Structure 1
Amino acid sequence: MRRTTVPAAVLGLLLAGAGPAQAAPADGPVPPGPVALGNPEFTANVMAPLKVTDWADFEADLDAVAAYGVDAVSVDVWWGDVEGAADNQFDWTYYDRVFDVVTSKGLDLAPILSFHQCGGNVGDDYTSLLPEWLWQKYAGRSFQGVQLGEFGLQHRSEQGNHSRESVQGWADQVVMNEYRDFTRAFEDRYGERYAEDVVEINVSLGPSGELRYPSYNQHDTGTGYPTRGALQSYSPLAVRDFQKTTIQRYGSLEAVNAAWGTGYTAQDQITPPQDADAFFSSHAYLDTQYGRDFVDWYNGSLVDHGERVLRTVIRTLGDDFPQADIGYKVPGIHWSMTNPEHPRATEVTTGLIQTSVDVDSWATGHGYQRIVELANRFDGGPREVVVHFTALEMDDQDYAPQYSLAETLVHWFGDYAFRAGVAVKGENALAGGLYSDAGWDNIDEAFAGWGYLGLTVLRVGDVSEGVGARRYAQLIATYGPQR
């Protein structure tokens, strides 16, 4: 489906009567306003549990949300659960039941092709590891002149640790057939049965299903909230790609030396930051040509990974699930944004922003331009690609140690997506925000002023009663079609 915007005359009236959420920023354009109002592409979804264990409770929750107008249920389809036993042996038994229960309640499906590990992150109450055969299958292979070995598919951090939560993007061409096989098996199983019930297929592009690097995950120490995290570009494949990309950009090692003020005598001397702490504390990532080039490559590698996986899934699906858009998720990495020691550094280590552009400008999406405009790389294709952004319920906490601009970031992201012609939908980051009116007020603000077209709530049990049910029903009554 293609986005339908609110007519200009209507939008003008809405903005005229708007509250502070729609006040024009001093250094930017007039905010988009409530583009979901009267828009047929408004969607109100809920997430299923990571794994359903109490089926009676699940059905009761579905009945409750269906009654007040929720559209669809987002369901993680865990790679490790379905194909974990052996390569190309798929067990769909659990999903047969989940999908049947959801659709029996009159709700649509928004499955997530979950090519990432479940377990070890905030809110995880279930564990599903990536298939063990995956690491073994490719250990003896070589790619780009690199012998993969035991850790060849995994990210390696600045601390020298490896992550098994998702396959690194620099190994996409090695494992792309695995994503293709899984997508085809899903399509073969459900393409006819749920042809009209699947309204979106979300594609996991990294840890927690998000387009990011595992920069604050368990394999490293001292990198969690609210630190800067850790760079994840030290695997042999990543280093080789950085060297190759840099030489291609400048044309010769001599030109690299001229740009960076270095005296390299061999391409192998081009490396990611050898002292990552100094790279950030000195602001080299912002103020030096080497630093900006490195961050550009790091961010660009992530976006290119997203394109490769999304394009593979879209091609594999073909004409099946004709009503389904394709979605990808971008996390709201909102902490350490104004930390004077390393402003915006956590967004850098997660791979979300460039620093070669003005990160304070609305014109660049405050650095998010490439991440947002990934969706536009598929213009003219068979399906619309939409982006989901998290943290809609959060406040700014612009003080130590958080230095968080969560609410502001939601505004920046929605505004830029709207101006780039990208359909943007939102999620809450943590369930706790759904239990307070303050959290819902922030969600309402995102819809009233900043271009969000839909909401997926984490999770269904949190909006089946109480404050969550009351406020979600109100949001749907405001933006949804008359039912």
Structure 2
Amino acid sequence: MDREPDLAYSDRYGRRNKEYISLGCDNLPVLKGRSPIQTYSDFMRSFRDTFKHFLGIVITEVQVGMGPAGELRYPSCPSEKLKRPSSPPELGEFQCYDKNMLASLRACAQNIGMPEWGYGGPIGVSDLTQNPEETTFFRSNGSWNSDYGKFFLEWYSGLLLLHGEILCMATTAIFLQTGVKIFAKVAGIYWHYLTCSHPSELTAGYYNTLTRDGYLPLARLFGKYKMILCCSCFDIQDAEELKGSKSSPEGFLRQLVYAARMHNLPLSGENSGTILDDKSLDQVIKSSRLSSAGAYESSLSFNYVRMDRHLFDPHNWPRFTRFVRQMSNARTFQAKLDFRGRDQYLSSCSATEEVKRSFAFY
């Protein structure tokens, strides 16, 4: 990327984001004669062959990274600036200004006889933390809902869906008959969710607005390839958001659950942070009941991620074990705990024998 900057995404200011190779390069021979999709496929194939004796027995699940942080999205907000409850919600920036994305946009605009729409992203999107109603593109009656806005957003989100489909096809072919379940992750982008235009979702590539469901196409895609949809923010409440921010993690999750149900798509939840307070753990249980109600009770699993040393603090460990017990007793879903680094941690820390015995049970 240092030698070839256009391998990286770019926003309207020319700022490059190197979290993930631009999907405008997906099928171009930019990596010593090979495309990023070919290279990633080779990596997955090597993983499959190296661990073939463990697949379906020890390694039962594989999550395929499809974008920044493994999520199928554009890097509209850099990782270090991702939403925190105490920070103003960001609109995000459209990532369509590297030469390959612009070439695709120009071709698409010319194809419909509107070449003037192919010179770049929308104007009037303003600054990252600006109120959407103060922008000409994102406000309630803004140009997001104009003919031009619909054209651009369909192109922008359509490329992301195409990127996801190419990776789904490659992954399904590589891991066919290995016995592993394949996971794909979407981002829990819930700030500005209660506005008409949902700007933060639009810049991330999710064409989800007051008049359009942007998660049904994602669920349809993953359902087509029999994958499992993974998302975070199971532990966040609307009440935690800044007053007047119009953010809604609970509203976002309800919509995603509905989309998953529409396409009989299993759902896997994750916690967004390492917070271990009772309020967050209770919210996970509440969200799981939403996701596994009625006929869907077997379609949800939960990964407890980001385990660290604080989990074993005397005031945290009893709370955590009580949480696991509640999940099991409520039969809301299969509690599947992601204990990466467990053995290394236990061998190096000063955890009590009681903690180690409890941990071994799980």
Please say whether Structure 1 and Structure 2 have the same fold, judged by a TM-score greater than 0.5.
yes
Alpha-carbon contact 2:230-2:267 (below 8 Å) kept: yes
Report the aligned-residue RMSD: 3.0
Unpaired runs of 5+ in structure 1? 1-134, 140-149, 257-265, 379-383
Change (3 A) 1:181 1:412: same
Q: Name the counterpart of 2:104.
A: 241
Q: Name the counterpart of 2:78.
A: 217
Q: Which of 178-187 and 284-293 deviates more?
A: 284-293
Please say if 1:152 is aligned against 2:6: yes
Identify which of 211, 216, 226 aligns with 1:358: 211
Unpaired runs of 5+ in structure 2? 28-34, 127-135, 293-298, 336-360
Query: For 1:328-347, what per-residue CA distance to the aligned partner results, in whole angstroms no more than 9, with x for missing partners?
Result: 111211112235xx741101
The residue type equivalent to 1:455 in the other structure is F
CA distance in 2, matches of 1:388, 1:221: 18
Look up the SS of the partner of 1:332 in the other structure. coil
CA distance in 2, matches of 1:202, 1:219: 23
Change (3 A) 1:425 1:193: closer
What is the CA distance between 1:301 and its match in structure 2? 1.1
Alpha-carbon contact 2:11-2:93 (below 8 Å) kept: yes
What is the CA distance between 1:221 and its match in structure 2? 11
Q: Name the counterpart of 1:406.
A: 249
Alpha-carbon contact 2:96-2:120 (below 8 Å) kept: no
Q: Name the counterpart of 2:327.
A: 475
TM-score, normalised via structure 1 length? 0.57
Query: For 1:244-287, what per-residue CA distance to the aligned partner results, in whole angstroms no more than 9, with x for missing partners?
Result: 23344x3xx1xx3xxxxxxxxx5685432244324234753532
TM-score, normalised via structure 2 length? 0.75
Alpha-carbon contact 2:236-2:280 (below 8 Å) kept: yes
Alpha-carbon contact 2:88-2:242 (below 8 Å) kept: no
Alpha-carbon contact 2:193-2:252 (below 8 Å) kept: no
Identify which of 410, 415, 419 aligns with 2:258: 415
Q: Name the counterpart of 1:338.
A: 194
Identify which of 58, 64, 75 aligns with 1:197: 58
CA distance in 2, matches of 1:327, 1:234: 30
CA distance in 2, matches of 1:418, 1:458: 24
Identify which of 292, 295, 303 aligns with 2:150: 292
1:131-210 correspondence to structure 2 within 5 Å:
135=1, 150-173=4-27, 174-210=35-71
Give identity over the alignment, percent.
22
Alpha-carbon contact 2:198-2:208 (below 8 Å) kept: no
CA distance in 2, matches of 1:159, 1:457: 38
CA distance in 2, matches of 1:180, 1:155: 21
What is the CA distance between 1:193 and its match in structure 2? 3.8
Change (3 A) 1:216 1:305: same
Q: Name the counterpart of 1:19.
A: none
The residue type equivalent to 1:172 in the other structure is D
Q: Name the counterpart of 2:233.
A: 391
Please say if 1:232 is aligned against 2:95: yes
Q: Name the counterpart of 1:22.
A: none
What is the CA distance between 1:218 and its match in structure 2? 5.7
CA distance in 2, matches of 1:293, 1:369: 19
CA distance in 1, matches of 2:222, 2:143: 26
Q: Which of 403-412 and 282-291 deviates more?
A: 282-291
The residue type equivalent to 1:390 in the other structure is S
What is the CA distance between 1:211 and its match in structure 2? 1.1
Q: Which of 400-409 and 150-159 deviates more?
A: 400-409
The count of corresponding residues between Structure 1 and Structure 2 is: 305
Alpha-carbon contact 1:338-1:344 (below 8 Å) kept: yes
Please say if 1:307 is aligned against 2:165: yes
CA distance in 2, matches of 1:377, 1:168: 25
